[in-house]
Structures are given as structure tokens and as C-alpha cells.
Structure 1
Amino acid sequence: MSTELNKYSKTLTQDPTLPAAQAMLYGIGLTDEDMQKAQVGIVSTGFDGNTCNMHLNGLAQDVKKSVWASDLVGLVFNTIGVSDGISNGTAGMRYSLVSRDIIADSIEAVCGAQYYDGLVAIMGCDKNMPGALIAMGRLNRPALMVYGGTIAGGHYKGQELNIISSFEALGKKLAGTISDEDYKGIIKNSCPGAGACGGMYTANTMASAIEAMGMSLPNSSSNPAIDPSKKEECAAVGKAIHNLLKLDLKPRDIMTRKAFENAITVVMATGGSTNAVLHLIAMAKAVDVELTQDDFQKISDRIPLLADFKPSGTHLMGALHKVGGMSSVLKYLLEKGFLHGDCITVTGKTLAENVKDAPSLVFGENNVIFPVETPLKPTAHLQILYGNLAEKGSVAKITGKEGERFKGPARVFNGEFELIDGIQNGRVKSGDVVVIRYVGPKGAPGMPEMLKPTSAIMGSGLGKSVAMITDGRFSGGSHGFVIGHIVPEAFAGGLIALVEDDDLIEIDITNHSINLLVDEKTIALRRAAWKQPALNVKNGVLWKYAKQVKTAADGCVTDEE
């Protein structure tokens, strides 16, 4: 318990040798009384350019009112965002994962320079959230995150739509199975307003994981963007951050090893994105918690897949809000012994205390969450594969609908843009293993998501008959027999760089293996002839990223030796 809530900001407000700092604080309107209060930085990734973030600055103002009403000084600042939905399928997507580190660095820089005592982050799109949590871990001052909330579903001709509908419509267009009118109709109706992409894609995955970890208020991940519950959540933030300051309860007290296990468990049970592997490893590094890809496999082996969410399932995230929200899911998982209920959270209470009074899930009345006795899949969907194609690992997303084994000839593409041509000209055929390479953390650089390729394959009708492997990553909206995060990547000389068309590749999910079936002599000859290509960039943030970034197995961090 702390009686000194302003232990950082007093450096500026109370030191008589810092008159300029105090002059500026008076200049923004603070009074003598305000100068005695703790200061809370309220960071928003709000910007007008995409539906995920368009409403966040408004939520930041709601949070600011709540903070001031709790006898604290609340000061809003902004950091960047990159829209995955807009940049996917373009060279601009290389900036997406890079933005996670820019967000973390900028939040750390502002809070460090401004001496804020606490931090509230209002985040929308998927890289926003881990970026904020990495900064919180570095700063280790009382902090919590508010998720901007999920988007409502769109509708067109009786069909429920979401952002992935528009991507998959392209595949149908390439296959000639959709009219121009319906193609345009789907595009115009997929995103009806504010909120993050609607399925259990990466944004909703990370929001769910962060709530399970204890770093956001109950049901933050499932309160929809335009629902009154999101406004109510913002109104509760002031008391919550004041309590955190009073308790001196900091991110490293909350983001423990057991808290990360809770986060992974929820990702597995709800069918979350492969990106959670990258982000949770990076977040763990920020708080000095040991976490590896293999930890995900251990939890995947014992957690059933219970949630029927898109992209592989039926529902959007808004459906969870209607059946009790994330608190009800956490309560159920806790009752079944899958979670550590004694983990402390940003409410100052344990996870078990937070969910004690949540509504219990009623099975049979909804088909959003299934009971552990009749799961969608007895083990989870994320699988870590090793083999000569992935000596340091890879991440597969297998929900059970795709099968457990795939063997076929390679169809190789140096980058995703070649693949669209390959679909159009018939180069990709049923039974192929599509290989997209040189799109890793260094090779792209920036490890872009392969959402346009997976969606095009699905939309063209090849989704059930081809596999895809890549040293890039996938959107949470990707589905099918897909394996990403292959390490070492092609740019670093990984075996994926040496694959040629018609080489046989075998993927065995049961045995967690991914192998190129080519003899060692042939591989040695190819390796001798291989030369590392030049970097695709010569300056700027992508160049700096390529020079600093670690492998996907290391979470693609850029802030360690």
C-alpha cells in the first residue's frame, strides 16, 4: 500500500529547481491542487483511417473524465497505428509488425520523459495491444489496458459479413464464381462501423489473452465497440487506476509466468490467432518471464478447442458478449481446472474473485462455447512443428477440419504477389504445398501477414485441397492447412530458401513435423549455390528493423542483444 501516489510526477511538480516544467504544467491549466496529484498518461492509438481505431480518441476522452473524477490528473497523448486490414496484400503490410515496436518505444519515451505515475492505454488493432503491454512491462508503473472493442457484423443479401468476407470475395472473383455487383456489395457492407475485425482474429485474440492475464478490466475483450458496456468500462477506469496507484500494483506483479499460462490457455480454448505466439513471447521478454514456443505446445496438448468463432467457425466476437462475455468463459475454464485463479489482476483482486459473480455459461442454449465434454477438438488448434524445414520451429493453425497430415509437391513463390498470378494462371493445383518465402522478419523485412494469399486460395475453392507454408506470418483471419513462422527464414539461409517446384513436402501434425523430402546430397549442392539476396530496403524504419529483429521463435523482438 502506498500513500505517495505521485512518486514519479513529483520530480517535475515539486522540485523548485525545475521552474520551466512547472510553468508548462500551469500553462496547460493545472492548479496548485492539481500539482499535488498523481499524473496518469492516457495513450490512444486513435486515428481516422480505419474502423479498428476510428473511435479510440473518443474513448480516451471518456477515460480522461473518469481519471479526473478520481482525484487524479489525466493527460491524453497519442501513438501510431497501422491498419492491417488496409495494408494487407500490399508492400505496406511490412510496417505492421514493425509498428508494435514503434508503439512500445513511443509509449515508453513519453511516460519516461513526462514522469507519469500511471498509464492507461486505449488500443484497437492487433499490434497496438502487445505494443502497449511491452511498454507497460518496461516502465513497470501501475497500468491497465482498455480494448476498443469488436466491430458489429455486416450484412449483404442475408449473409453475415466481416473483413475476411471481402478478402475471400477476391478469390471468388479470380475463380469467376461471383458477379461484379455482389463482389462490390460484399466490399461495401463488410465493415459497418467502428470496432476491430470481428472474428477471433488477432485483435480479439490479444484482447482476450490480455484480459486473461489480468491487465484489463473484466469483459474488456468482449464489450463491443459501440455497445454501452464499452462506455461503462471507460467510466470505471479512473477508480481502477487510482486503486492500482494506491496498492502500488505494477505490471510485473501481474504479468507473471502463471498469468502468461492463463493467457495462452484462453488463446487455445477460443481458437485464437497464431500471432499470439509472437506477441506473448515478446511481452514475456519485457517482464523477464521465460516463455518459448514449446510452452504453447504443452498447453495446446491439454486444452480443448471450445469456441466456434470465425475464421474456421461460425460466430463473430459480438456473440460472446450476448452469452456472458469473457468473464463467463474464464469462470468456466477456472471451474474445469484450466486456469490459475490466484493470479492478481488490475482490479486488485484475483482472477477467481473477478469472475465469481459472472453468469455461468448455459450450454444447449448457444453454440458459441462448447462444453469440455463435447469440444470442437479435444486438443487445441495451434501446433508447434519442427523438422528440416523448420529447425528452430514453426507455428501451424489446425482446427481439425483440415486433417492432420499433408504430403504434396511444392509450388514455390518468392513473395505473396507472385501467388495471386499463380492462382489466376492455374499454376496452383489441388494437392500442392504452396511455399511463400522471403517474407520473414528480415527478408520482407517486417514479416507481413499472408492473409490475401490464404483468402484468395479459400475463395478460389482450393482451401481444402492445398497446404501453405511460409516464413512470414498469418492474419488471425487466415484458415486452412497453414504453417507460418518458419525459422530459420529464407533470408537467413533456412532450408525453405532451397525448395524447388515439385519437391515433396510432408507435414505431420500428429508428430509435430515438417520436412522437405529431398536427399542430403541435393540439398548440399543447392546450398553451395545459394546466395543471400540484398535487403529490400536501404534506409528508414524497415532497414533498422531488419538489422535489429530477432527470429519469430524469439518473438521478433528488437530490444535485446
Structure 2
Amino acid sequence: MTLRSSTNLTGTDNGLCRSLYKAMGYSEEELTNRPVIGIANSWSTLVPGHYNLRELADFVRKGIYRAGGTVVEFGVISCCDGIANGHEGMKYILPAREVVCNSVEIEAQAHRLDALVLLASCDKILPGMLMAAARLDIPTIVVTGGVMQGGGMFDGRKSDATSNDEAAGMYHAGRITAAQLRALEDVSCPGCGSCSFLGTANTMACVSEALGMSLPGSALIPAVWADRQSSAYEAGIRICQLVEAGITPRKILDERALRNAVRVVQAISGSTNAVLHLSAVAYEAGWSGSVMDLFDQMYHTTPHLVKVNPAAAYDMEEFHRAGGIPRLMERLGDLIDSTALTCTGQTVGENLKGYHYLFPDNPELIRTRETAYGLHGGVAVLRGNLAPHTAVTKPGAYGPHLQRFRGKARVFNREEAANEAILAGTVQPGDVVVIRYEGPKGGPGIREMYKAMKFLYGRGLAEQTALVTDGRFSGTNNGCFVGHISPEAAEGGPIALVEDGDEIVIDVPAGRLDLLVEEGELARRRAKWTPPPVQAPRGYLQCYARWASSAAQGAVIHCGEEEVER
């Protein structure tokens, strides 16, 4: 077995590199006779989903040393969507995904690491790590930090972080008191972990397991459980076995894995952000197909088997107790490609056959195909004259009566203006709130319109209004919403031409999003339209606004068609 690290750690001419490692206490035997395995750790005290990763790194380290590897560890940035939400900071969240990916690549390549264990949990950090794994193609396992447990009861279910924004809407509508609002924030997040609902963080943990990049059953173990630590220890052992077997991410992240991941997202009605992230992972893995088309196809052929918060009162800990992703994949049966390779060195089918469930089945939480909540998946792709290239919605988060919605546009050029109007009570039943210039280039950074939906919910309008945007949404949003509209407004997409009072039709069963305005009138409006200046401060956001692809392509940074193949 030839190790990458031998390039700079073996031979008479590499004394300098060995000397620098020895300055940190490494021995000759550790440097020359073992694979050097990097732990990419996004631990911080800024993000509750990452707060326990320093502890988990110790268990990964123990597993690696037991299996004969040498451990090196480095830090990776992490940002919290919840803390960044509703202000200018959210513009940095999706672009941070590219920085995470690039920083892992740089560390692994500069130091010629033999393998990686990627420690992450939250919304853009975990996808960035998966992108790096696909790009580097050295043996890799993903270890997530685990889910947060549910909080105190509020509005008929266990509360979570987003309950605070729903409560803010209720307060402005006079439905709760200031004291009730303030009390909620002390009980809604009882401990560390990725937020207890099926948002992007937990969706992507499920995706990582479905792709075969995380150990079976590990996606949803609560952050505070001992099983989380033992799973990290096992990952440390497994990564050494992957090095020995020569199993790298691109042997795992093929079309079979991508199809399985999309199938799982559809079956659980996961976050619409999964479309962006799986598109980006597929791009880094060199897959030439369209993830957007996979979502479109599988929406029609995947039964909806799981409902958890925000679609139901169950939280992620209860999903784990019910059997998590292994039970779900087992229930999906022949809709899952059981021949796909995983980070255990075995196939999906072999993993499922040998899987041991710790808790009793909950057939109400994870249903069978015969008792499914619905015959269609939870994430739908729409097209039409308002979204010529595609848009994305999540019918799994709202009832059938909202899947055909016709209303009059209330147009806002920024998220903040829409939020102010909703809280002021000027948005009325039957309105379609349009928030534009929030795409990858226009935002820049394709911010989440999470607060707008939560404020509509809090004011009792979630069942009577809709929201369409070239921005995106959090996985916890419910109500009728359509995001990722491409082309975006900043690139002259039709959403830039919408005016107050125009009628918009959302028709999920037909896969349509249409603006009911004559083509001649749209042509007149287009002739008067001029591109707005980029709303980006000097620095990274200007670069992202210049080079980011559309949401339909994953909002990744493209180097251009002339890009040299990796």
C-alpha cells in the first residue's frame, strides 16, 4: 500500500518535514509506518450543533490509533444559520459552504494527508465537507455531531429554536404575551446538537448516511447520547480500514448513491436546500447528470413515509428511536439501490441486512409503502413562465389544499421589507408575497426567507398566503412557498418583472409556477428593466456574486467552461 504521506514523510531527503512533526511530539514510527489521517473539525462555541465536536474528535482519535493510524487535526470554519438569520449575516451562509470545501481541500493537499474524518453537523458546513470529500477523492468518513433534543411544550408540540420566531409573530398579532414570548427562549433549546426539527442540518445528516458517507444509523443519534461517542470511535477504526482497502469517495458517490440520497429526501420531505447541496456534491464528484431532474423524477415515484417537525409533532430524537435512516431505507425496499457501496466497505444491502435496531418500531412515524402519507415525495420541482429554469417547493410541509394556489402579488425587493410588512399586518389573505433580488448573485448569497414564513405562521396567515422568491428556505418552514427561482431577478429572470397586483399561480400537481401577465406586457417591462448594482461589501461576497452559478446548478462557484478536469 503506497501512502500519499510518504511523499513528504519518508526517505533521507524529507528530514525537514519529519522534524516539524516531531516538534509537536510525533514519533518516527507514527510518521513513517502509519497512514496520516486528518480530522477536519468544525468545532466552535458559536454553533450549538458543533459544540460537542471537540469531544467527539477525541473518540475518533482513539479509534484511529487503535486501528493503526496517525492522527492530525485542523479546524474549519462554521456559521450558525439561526444566529445569522434575518440580517446581512445570512448573505455569508451559503457562500461559506465553498470556503469550508476549499479549506479542507487545501489542508489535505498541502500536507499530503492519506485520509480524512470530517466532523460537522450544520446546514452548510456538512455539505461543504461532502463537496471536499468528492473533490479530493481520498478515503473519507463523515461524523456528525448529533441532533438536539426537543424543548418545552409550545403550540401543541415540543418547541425548537424556530418556535421563537413563530411566537414573535403571535406576539405581534396579540395572541401571546411578552412574558410568554420571553419564557420560550429559555426552554426551546435544552442542549447542544443540530436543531431538533427536520431542517437542512438534519436533512443533510440523513443525506450523508444515505449516500454511504456516514456509518449506518449514525445520522440522528442525539448529541448528548453515549452512542454518539461510540459511533465516532467506530468511525476512527473504519477510516483505517478504508485506507487499507483503497475505498475513496468517488467509488461511493456514484449515481446509485445520489439516487438513494434523493429518494430518502423525498421520503422524509427533507429541506429544499438538499437540492442545492446534492447538486454541488454531484458537481464535485464529476457526475454529468442533473440532480434537479432526479428530484423531479423521484417526486412522482417516491411515497412520503416520514413526517416529523415541522410536518408533525415528532422530533428528530423520536425519528432516531423509530429506526432512523436504516428503517426508512428498509421500508423503501426496491426503491433503494442496495448495491451501492458505503464507507463500511459493504453495500447498502449488506449494511441493512446486518443492522441491529436498539428501539421498537414506530409504524406511525416511519410508515410502510402501503400505509404511506402520500404517493408523492416531499420536494417538488416547478417550471413555468415565472421559473423558466426551475423552482423548488416542499409540498410535504403543507396540505393538498395549498398545492394549487392563485393570488395577487405583493412585491418586495429585499427580505427585510417583506418582514416589516408582514409584522405590520399589511399582508392579507390571498396575497402571494414575492421577495426578489435574493438569489446567488442578487443577494448575494441566496439568503433564507425563513423569518417571513415564520411571521406569516405567527400571524395566522400560513394557510391563506403563499411566498415565492429567488432566495431559499429553511427546512423548518411550512406553508405554501416556492424558492430557488431560476433565472434569478439579478440576472433578468421573469421574477424581476412582477408588479403588485399581478396574479401568480402555483400548481404543484402540474409542476407549474406561472405569472398571469401577457407576453407583450412582460416585453414592455423588460425593455425598461436595468440590472441593479451588486449588493455586496468589498471582499468575499463580491467574488461569490461574480462567480456563483444559478440555484438550478447548486449555486457553486464555477471556474468556467474551460475549467481543467480535476
TM-score for both structures, normalised by structure 1: 0.96
Which residue is 1:78 aligned to?
75
Distance 1:395 1:362 in 2: 35
* Pairwise CA distance, 1:449: 0.7
| Aligned-pair Cα RMSD in Å | 1.6
Matches within 5 A, 1:156-175: 156=153, 159-175=157-173
The answer (yes or no) to whether the contact 1:492–1:532 under 8 Å persists in 2 is yes
Query: What SS does structure 2 have at the residue aligned with 1:18?
Result: helix
Which residue is 1:140 aligned to?
137
| 2:235 is equivalent to residue 237 of structure 1 | yes
Distance 1:19 1:364 in 2: 57
The answer (yes or no) to whether the contact 1:328–1:359 under 8 Å persists in 2 is no
Q: Which runs of 5+ in 1 are unaligned?
A: none
Name the aligned partner's letter for residue 178 of structure 1: I
Deviation per CA, 1:58-80, whole angstroms, max 9, x where unpaired?
Answer: 11122112212221101111100
Distance 1:515 1:124 in 2: 37
Distance 2:322 2:424 in 1: 46
Instruction: Return the match for 1:268 from 253, 256, 266.
Output: 266
Name the aligned partner's letter for residue 265 of structure 1: R
Distance 1:359 1:55 in 2: 26
Deviates more, 1:256-265 or 1:61-70: 61-70
* Pairwise CA distance, 1:376: 1.2
Name the aligned partner's letter for residue 181 of structure 2: Y
Matches within 5 A, 1:313-462: 313-333=312-332, 336-358=333-355, 365-399=362-396, 401-403=399-401, 404-462=403-461
The answer (yes or no) to whether the contact 1:275–1:473 under 8 Å persists in 2 is yes
Distance 1:247 1:429 in 2: 61
Which residue is 2:480 aligned to?
481
Q: Do the aligned partners of residues 262 and 270 (structure 1) sit closer, same or farther apart at CA in structure 2, a change above 3 Å counting?
A: same
Which residue is 1:40 aligned to?
37
Distance 1:44 1:220 in 2: 17
* Pairwise CA distance, 1:15: 3.6
Query: What SS does structure 1 have at the residue aligned with 2:48?
Result: coil
Distance 2:319 2:69 in 1: 34
Name the aligned partner's letter for residue 471 of structure 2: G
Name the aligned partner's letter for residue 341 of structure 1: S
Name the aligned partner's letter for residue 545 of structure 1: Y
Which residue is 1:514 aligned to?
513
Distance 1:502 1:187 in 2: 38
Deviates more, 1:23-32 or 1:142-151: 23-32
Distance 1:402 1:73 in 2: 54
Instruction: Return the match for 2:202 from 201, 204, 208.
Output: 204
Distance 1:525 1:175 in 2: 40
* Pairwise CA distance, 1:361: 11
Name the aligned partner's letter for residue 528 of structure 1: A
* Pairwise CA distance, 1:159: 4.9
- Structure 1 outlier segments of 4+, above 6 Å: 360-364
* Pairwise CA distance, 1:538: 4.3
* Pairwise CA distance, 1:364: 8.3
Q: Do the aligned partners of residues 137 and 169 (structure 1) sit closer, same or farther apart at CA in structure 2, a change above 3 Å counting?
A: same
Deviation per CA, 1:351-400, whole angstroms, max 9, x where unpaired?
Answer: 11111133579998552112211211211121111111100000011125
Distance 1:323 1:511 in 2: 34
Deviation per CA, 1:165-203, whole angstroms, max 9, x where unpaired?
Answer: 112111112211111111011122111111001111111
| 2:533 is equivalent to residue 537 of structure 1 | no
Q: Do the aligned partners of residues 345 and 169 (structure 1) sit closer, same or farther apart at CA in structure 2, a change above 3 Å counting?
A: same
Query: What SS does structure 1 have at the residue aligned with 2:19?
Result: helix
Distance 1:528 1:43 in 2: 50
Instruction: Return the match for 1:30 from 11, 26, 44.
Output: 26
* Pairwise CA distance, 1:93: 0.5
Query: What SS does structure 1 have at the residue aligned with 2:521?
Result: helix
Which residue is 1:181 aligned to?
179
| 2:189 is equivalent to residue 191 of structure 1 | yes
Name the aligned partner's letter for residue 351 of structure 1: V
Query: What SS does structure 1 have at the residue aligned with 2:62?
Result: helix
Query: What SS does structure 2 have at the residue aligned with 1:447?
Result: coil
| 2:100 is equivalent to residue 103 of structure 1 | yes
Which residue is 2:563 aligned to?
none
Q: Do the aligned partners of residues 114 and 360 (structure 1) sit closer, same or farther apart at CA in structure 2, a change above 3 Å counting?
A: closer
TM-score for both structures, normalised by structure 2: 0.96
| 2:89 is equivalent to residue 92 of structure 1 | yes
Distance 2:362 2:444 in 1: 47
* Pairwise CA distance, 1:426: 2.6
Distance 1:161 1:366 in 2: 23
Distance 1:363 1:394 in 2: 39
Which residue is 1:251 aligned to?
249
Distance 1:326 1:364 in 2: 13
The answer (yes or no) to whether the contact 2:321–2:358 under 8 Å persists in 1 is no
Which residue is 1:285 aligned to?
283
Name the aligned partner's letter for residue 336 of structure 2: L
Query: What SS does structure 2 have at the residue aligned with 1:189?
Result: coil
Name the aligned partner's letter for residue 255 of structure 2: R
Which residue is 1:124 aligned to?
121
The answer (yes or no) to whether the contact 1:156–1:186 under 8 Å persists in 2 is no
Distance 2:406 2:142 in 1: 44
Q: Do the aligned partners of residues 469 and 88 (structure 1) sit closer, same or farther apart at CA in structure 2, a change above 3 Å counting?
A: same
Instruction: Return the match for 1:56 from 31, 53, 58.
Output: 53
Query: What SS does structure 2 have at the residue aligned with 1:17?
Result: helix
Q: Which runs of 5+ in 2 are unaligned?
A: 561-566
The answer (yes or no) to whether the contact 1:324–1:359 under 8 Å persists in 2 is no
Deviation per CA, 1:200-251, whole angstroms, max 9, x where unpaired?
Answer: 1111111111101101111111211111110110111222011100100000
The answer (yes or no) to whether the contact 2:382–2:392 under 8 Å persists in 1 is yes
Query: What SS does structure 1 have at the residue aligned with 2:298?
Result: helix
Say how many residue pairs are matched: 555
Distance 1:363 1:518 in 2: 55
| 2:521 is equivalent to residue 526 of structure 1 | no
Q: Do the aligned partners of residues 150 and 402 (structure 1) sit closer, same or farther apart at CA in structure 2, a change above 3 Å counting?
A: same
Q: Do the aligned partners of residues 364 and 144 (structure 1) sit closer, same or farther apart at CA in structure 2, a change above 3 Å counting?
A: closer
Distance 1:478 1:30 in 2: 49
* Pairwise CA distance, 1:453: 0.6
Distance 1:451 1:416 in 2: 10
Which residue is 1:9 aligned to?
5
* Pairwise CA distance, 1:307: 0.5
Name the aligned partner's letter for residue 476 of structure 2: G
Distance 1:203 1:147 in 2: 10
